Amino acid sequence: MHFKRIEINGFKSFAEPVSIEFTDGITCIVGPNGSGKSNVSDALRWVLGEQSPKSLRGGRMEDVIFAGTASRRSKGMAEVTLVIDNSSGELAIDFSEVAITRRMYRSGESEYMINRTPCRLRDIRDLIMDTGIGVEGYSIIGQGKIADIVSNKMESRREIFEEAAGIVKYRNRKEDAERKLDSASQNLARVNDIVYEIESRIGGLEEDSKKAAEYLEIRDKYKAVEINIILRNIDQAEDKTGAVKEELEEIEAKLVTLGSERDSHAAEAKSLRAKAEELAGKLEELRSELVKRTEEIGSVESRRQLGLQQLDALKKDDERLISEIADIDDKLARQAAAKAELSVRTDELEVPPRAARTGSPRPLRAARRQRTLSGRPEGSSTRGRANFWKPLRSPRQPGQRYRARAPWPRASEEGSRGSKKTRTKSPEAARSSRRSSADPRRRRRRSRSP
């Protein structure tokens, strides 16, 4: 029997899965300090059931899981599998190759498996007992282990020699048997105590048994009496049942009559229901007709209100038109009067052609001014005359070269006889004089006029 290989994943410095093959002979692991050589032996001790973190050079059992580096994430699980060659049959299992697996999570949970079958730690220890490959066996000797063996007590050296001799299993079995014997003797002592206690209570129990026998006899008599009472009650119940049956027959006859009456009432109710449905239909039609008539009345009323509003609006328009027609008639009358007055003034202002050509300009101007002033309304002043009276032009007469114009009124009589510098003109006259002075044709006409 020897180790074939060990598979390590997430245990201490083994971040990635690693498989180490052990061939026949001596296998050496060589490397610099800190390369993880001791982690291989720690993995062997851990998979074989080591429970002490100090033996694995750690503070807690969770320290065996890879903690991560600057470039690698930490692992959440550590798993080690040891494959043992059992072709010689030294292990008490029917397999030529045995794989012992231990798995641990950061939550503290652990799993043990033999050939990928879950098992207990005790099963693994029983399997490798007396083979020398246990946790305390002589096959795994670390640094300083020989010195510890030599310097330890005689009992520690004896355990190593017993394991090498293969008697540890029997010693453990002997200890288990002794523990079982101690437990059996303790149980026997408790049984004896119970028997002693029961023996002390035998006298009282005899009396209790007599009472129990009497109770059973009385109970049997009570049962017989109770049965008789029940039979009597049954007879009475049968008599009552006959009377009840007769009453039931009478009630059934009444039910038949009531059923026939119910059928007749149901037929009557059905006919009444049909009439009610017919009346409901008629009522619905009348309601719809009423709604329709109500809507028509509403529409007629709304049209009547609209017609009244339109009539009021037409009346107001008629009154407004009548007032406007009256105003227009007044305006037309005023315009007709003004037109008549204008025609009269135009006739008065007309100048005969010969007088316009041969006569002196001064008497003509005086006559024109006299006519203009004679047509002035009473009470009106000369001032502001330019804003009220406009110059009138007489129509051209046949043979007349130019039409005579009414002169603009002067501010006063002294202004009319005075020089041209003292004359005042209205704004309209000033604008017309500027236009005439600016027009060369008017200049020529003015120079030719007498």
Residue 294 forms part of a structural domain:
no
Domain housing 127 = 2-135
Tokens encoding 298: 């509403």
- pLDDT tens-place string over residues 273-297: 999 999 998 999 999 999 988 988 9
Distance CA 241, CA 192 (A): 65
Question: What type of residue is 443?
Answer: R
| Highest mean pLDDT out of 25-34, 94-103, 374-383 | 94-103
pLDDT at 448 over 50: no
Residue 302 lies in a domain: no
The number of residues making up the chain comes to 450
Instruction: Indicate whether 421 pLDDT > 50.
Output: no
For residues 161-183, one letter each, b for 16 or more C-beta atoms within 10 angstroms of the residue's C-beta and e for the rest, the string is eebeeeebeeeeeeeeeeeeeee
At 41, which CATH number? 3.40.50.300
Distance CA 74, CA 135 (A): 28
Q: What is the pLDDT of residues 422-436, one digit of tens each?
A: 444 455 555 555 555
* pLDDT per position as a tens digit, 15-72: 889 998 888 777 788 888 888 888 888 888 899 888 888 878 888 888 889 988 888 8
Number of structural domains found in the chain: 1
State the average pLDDT for the chain.
77
Contact 426/408 with Cβ under 8 angstroms? Answer: yes
Phi, psi of 101 (to 5 degrees): -125, 135
| Structural contact between residues 345 and 392, judged by C-beta atoms closer than 8 angstroms | yes
Query: Which of 67-81, 165-179, 296-310, 360-374 is predicted least confidently?
Result: 360-374
To which residue do tokens 């032996």 refer? 41
pLDDT at residue 365, rounded to an integer: 52
- Whether 37 is covered by a domain: the verdict is yes
pLDDT of residue 112: 93
The answer, yes or no, to whether residue 380 has pLDDT greater than 50, is no
Predicted confidence band at 151 (pLDDT cuts at 50, 70, 90)? low
Residue 167 lies inside a defined structural domain of this protein? no
Least confident of 236-240, 298-302, 347-351: 347-351
